[in-house]
A and B are shown apart, each in its own frame.
Chain A
């Protein structure tokens, strides 16, 4: 019982000391802390320099996905409608981002580096259905971009798809 008063004072002392320190808290969303260069966020589908889609609709990403959130429906390229370089292309390509765990397995599985995970994490929506990203959305630049830390500060290899396209 005798210890109560000094202990309380000691506790307040700790609090009081912090008051005069510079705060560590960052005011998100006003301030956006740069993510690591290899941070895995929202996906992108890529195109070749000539405008053809890299994805050939092989579904390997869907096979690798542990949360089963990718749906690919393929179709055949025709001379009139050439979408990708190979025989087939993805007529439908959807990722349900509400189920995605951002593991990056899809990126590893893709034989054409067509799908990669970008850095952007600001993808919340009011409606779950809006989190199903179709091919058109995945081909576009993300609407909101987050700052990324300087690559040279970290041991970040240049991804193959950046050095080869």
Chain B
């Protein structure tokens, strides 16, 4: 047992693996060492709050337990058995509360506050401080989504450590020194980071709170629904807090292999789209003056007529935001009922990559990571970026092109499925991750193939079904729809379908439905209904519609999943997926994949424009005013070297021009951008061509 150590805590003997922290060791012995600042996910402990004071035999003074690891033969006494430690801890708590306002009744953390809990269980129980407490201006808006209350801050530095060594944005910092330290941002700029919302969950007091959840509910007023985020292909595990039938906040539900308890701000703060003003609640039919609401029976009649007119030429364009079951139900209706096999799928399925499947957490332990993406990883799959950063902190080499020499045990991250499949074999990668564009593109493609087979008709589509608001925004889908006689839309927001669809049927959001989604690892996860949708579930009306075409489609997600699972997921059931879905094992390595044709990178004067989809874009984000400030549509991303050459610093206004088109953008320095390129959002002005000049 050389890799284990045995020690005594409060007269209990406990054996733990070498290197275990003292807090965890005590826990293993059934003893609590209370902590505020200790959070192993934030890197090495800092010992800021001193709540964890313990007495250790042989050491002259009390020690911060969180900074120590278990050692052979150690004799530790916590406040339970050591009067010295207990006195130290009481004094610590007294000090923490000296300037703490104790405004629990108006504090959002009240009822779920570690400071409340620990003050209740430890500490002297009453106060000797009779003087006035220090007051500060409050609340200070750190950003439109986060409010800061400096009076309540206990300076545990969890938030700044997150900003420094997890999201690495370094935006949130301690200002001033000693007793005057306060948390803030440089020059009171808004705290703008893709991951800023995590500090709200990390803060052990009510100093950092969400403005959206501000005064909305108390812990005893709410219900939590364990679900999975449906806004990007990572599929973070979330817990949706609801009160009186409305979503009030999204919190993380730590899945150690996927998200390690972090969420991006898109997943956390955009649930407001559920109550958007133009949310579709009833079927809509295009009339003389725009859309008119329609009774459900008439809508199904209409849909039936249109589908019969379309026959086997109907083409379905998916968004990749549907649940696997919804795509399957539509697939059954169209493929089995009409023989309409044409579909525009959002994603190619990289089945060859299944042999390189690994949990996302394995990225952290990689030694070499090859990243070949046009978009920044953080824009496509934000949490993957955090894993890459963790790997870099651990000393991993990050490559953005394939080197000449042979790579050992490389992890490949790519946004080109065909190329990645070939490259993974070529460099014999340890694992490979394909970053899809859409949250459940893979599940949709799986479902579509499970729903039937047969070739798509060669005729021009007479009817096009546009499923989802993202598909409705896709220029290629709009062009296809323009050629069809009729267009049926299925979506959340009316505006997406203005001037596009003849009949629109309401859809449910990922927070309003039961179903499964497949993330970029190939993990099948369950989404649960957190709130009742303002319209019937898709499966309900698709199953009614399918009846008219003599196809049996179950209106229940569990039964639909059973059918799909039997065909392609090896028969796993809802129950087996559970609340923390397991990763299916990697597939056998298949036949060699042919090398894709090399892509010619054109060369010309000026900087090459890379158009990318920023994380904060799309129909859902557009409907949440609080995250407006995160949008990058009026920004141009530049490589640091290119910027220096032109005398541009972060935040400058610059002119970008090509072929006589001039536009003003705010410059953002992006470290990971290759030299000689600039990044523009796909939503930024479109008349700029491939190469541009940038001037201050």
Query: Taking beta carbons and an 8 Å cutoff, which residues of A are in contact with B?
Result: 56-60, 62-63, 74-76, 86-88, 111-112
Contact = CB atoms under 8 A, between A and B. Distances in A.
B220 A74 contact: no
A56 B221 contact: no
A60 B105 contact: yes
Nearest to B111: A63
Nearest to B108: A88
Given A57-B215, A76-B214, A86 B105 contact: yes
Given A58-B110, A63-B111, 12 more contacts: A58-B106, A59-B218, A59-B220, A59-B221, A62-B218, A63-B220, A74-B216, A76-B214, A86-B103, A87-B106, A87-B138, A112-B105
B215 A76 contact: yes
Q: Sort A-B residue pairs by CB-CB distance and give the 3 closest, nearest first.
A: A58-B105, A74-B215, A59-B218
Contacts of B220: 59, 62-63
A58 B215 CA distance: 9
B150 to A, nearest CB: 14
Q: Is the interface of B mostly helix, strand, loop or mixed?
A: loop
A17 B330 CA distance: 89
Nearest to B218: A59
Interface string B205-218: 00000000011101
Contacts of A76: 214-215
B120 to A, nearest CB: 15
A75 B221 CA distance: 15
A60 B103 CA distance: 13
Contacts of A88: 106, 215
A74 B110 CA distance: 14
A56 B105 contact: yes
Interface in B62-120: 103-106, 110-111
A112 B104 CA distance: 12
B413 to A, nearest CB: 43
A87 B104 CA distance: 11
A78 to B, nearest CB: 12
A56 B106 contact: yes
Nearest to A114: B105
13 contacts: A56-B105, A58-B104, A58-B105, A58-B218, A59-B221, A60-B105, A63-B218, A63-B220, A74-B215, A75-B215, A87-B138, A111-B104, A111-B105
A59 B138 CA distance: 22
A75 B216 CA distance: 7
Nearest to A110: B105
A87 B209 CA distance: 14
A88 to B, nearest CB: 5
Interface string B235-248: 00000000000000
Contacts of A87: 103, 106, 138-139, 215
A112 B105 CA distance: 9
A86 B101 CA distance: 12
A59 B110 CA distance: 10
Contacts of B138: 87
Contacts of B105: 56, 58, 60, 86, 111-112
Contacts of A63: 111, 218, 220
A131 B216 CA distance: 25
Contacts of B221: 59, 62
Contacts of A112: 105
A6 B215 CA distance: 77
B151 to A, nearest CB: 11
Nearest to A68: B220
A56 B215 CA distance: 10
B206 to A, nearest CB: 11
Interface-centre pick from B106, B110, B111, B220 (highest chain A CB count, 10 A) = B106
A57 to B, nearest CB: 7
Interface in B311-329: none
Contacts of B214: 76
A72 B495 CA distance: 36
Interface in B184-218: 214-216, 218
A62 B104 CA distance: 15
Contacts of A74: 215-216
A67 to B, nearest CB: 14
B454 to A, nearest CB: 55
Contacts of B110: 58
A132 to B, nearest CB: 15
A74 B244 CA distance: 13
Contacts of A56: 105-106
B526 to A, nearest CB: 30
Nearest to B110: A58
A149 to B, nearest CB: 34
A111 B220 CA distance: 17
A151 to B, nearest CB: 30
A60 B221 CA distance: 10
A111 B102 CA distance: 12
B106 A86 contact: yes
A75 B670 CA distance: 40
B109 to A, nearest CB: 12
Contacts of A86: 103, 105-106
